[in-house]
Amino acid sequence: MNKLIRIGTRASALALWQAHTLQDLLNAKGYTTELVPIKSDGDLDLVQPLYEMGTVGIFTKTLDAALLNNRIDIAIHSMKDVPTQLPEGIKQAAVLERGPVLDVLVKKATAVAFENPATIATGSLRRKAQWLAHYPNHNIVPLRGNIQTRLTKLKDQAWDGAIFAEAALVRLDTKTERVEILDWMIPAPAQGALMVVCRTVDTTIFDSLQQFNRTDVALCTQIERDFLRTLEGGCTAPIGALATLEGDQVHFNGGVFSLDGKRKFLVSETFGKSTAQNKGVELANALLKKGAATLLQEFKSSL
């Protein structure tokens, strides 16, 4: 295939890292590529919390439009930002190698006495809910912006720490000291994963991208996203999910949390890879029957 492949990407440093990663993969196989940076609504408004913006796919819809309007040929996204229902005419073409999946706390001081009142910054309701479940006497403040902006805000504000995705810090080679991995916090569905999409009708490009698809990562992220979709939770809902594969066994942890962290519904299960296809749906339905539906309805009513 000698045709130029136009790669759509958001213009942030992290998004460009993702796009360059895909470009390098394609170039190494002899494809001719160019990057087409496009600003999303989520990039233009760096103040309003995402959950207040009321738009599904706040970071992806402008790239979707560019793809459908033939301004670009493929787009790459942080998979956790992608709505579980892709727009008509767009299909998932590849899931790349997954990065670190967990959340981390970047602390202002070397030691933080978490048993005492503290102020922690995050723009994620999922992180807020789980943090308050652990530390109910802490104060959570909103935090928006790209990685460098958020790190600068942490430095300038009288906060004790801020929560980030470990993958973002690693990918940007951000030299931050005083980082604590939050292995007790269930990450966002598909956190650390990268999704490449193309037009449904463009079978040639789809076939070209299949060689970069990591089937095990695609399976784990599908389980996580099926769990999210079945719970009818958007990207901002306080829902966590993580599936990991060891040999032919899949380990899954998922949860739905109240915004104040006082109530939660958790599921943890191990099952065979051969039976994994519909597990995200099954596990989500089990939580809904246990009472998670009430929490999610309260969440929707609060927006």
Q: Is residue 120 situated within a structural domain?
A: yes
Per-residue pLDDT at 100: 96
Contact of 193 with 95, CB cutoff 8 Å: yes
Over residues 110-126, mean pLDDT = 89
Quick one: 90 and 197 in the same domain? yes
Per-residue tokens: 100: 């670190």
Quick one: 141 and 209 in the same domain? no
Q: Which of 43, 64, 73, 81 is catalytic?
A: 81
Number of independent structural domains in the chain:
3
Helix (H, G, I), strand (E, B) or coil at 224: helix
Quick one: 170 and 243 in the same domain? no
Quick one: 64 and 176 in the same domain? no
Quick one: 140 and 27 in the same domain? no
The pLDDT mean for the chain works out to 90
Q: Using one digit for the tens of pLDDT, what is the confidence trace for 163-179?
A: 999 999 999 988 777 89
Confidence band, pLDDT 50/70/90 cuts, at residue 112: confident
pLDDT of residue 42 exceeding 50, the answer is: no
Per-residue pLDDT at 129: 95
Quick one: 135 and 164 in the same domain? yes
Residue 297 belongs to domain spanning: 239-302
Per-residue pLDDT at 174: 85
| Pairing between β-strand 194-199 and β-strand 74-78 as defined by DSSP bridges | antiparallel
Residue 279, domain CATH: 3.30.160.40
Global pTM reads 0.90
Quick one: 62 and 204 in the same domain? yes
Per-residue pLDDT at 25: 97
Contact of 264 with 133, CB cutoff 8 Å: yes
Per-residue pLDDT at 57: 56
Over residues 132-140, mean pLDDT = 95
> Is residue 81 annotated as a catalytic residue, yes or no?
yes
Per-residue pLDDT at 199: 97
Per-residue pLDDT at 281: 97
Quick one: 56 and 201 in the same domain? yes
Quick one: 201 and 75 in the same domain? yes
Quick one: 31 and 89 in the same domain? yes
Confidence band, pLDDT 50/70/90 cuts, at residue 51: very low
Over residues 89-104, mean pLDDT = 97
Quickly list DSSP for 252-290.
EEEEEE-TTSS-EEEEEEEEEGGG-TTHHHHHHHHHIII
Q: Is residue 63 situated within a structural domain?
A: yes
Residue 115, domain CATH: 3.40.190.10
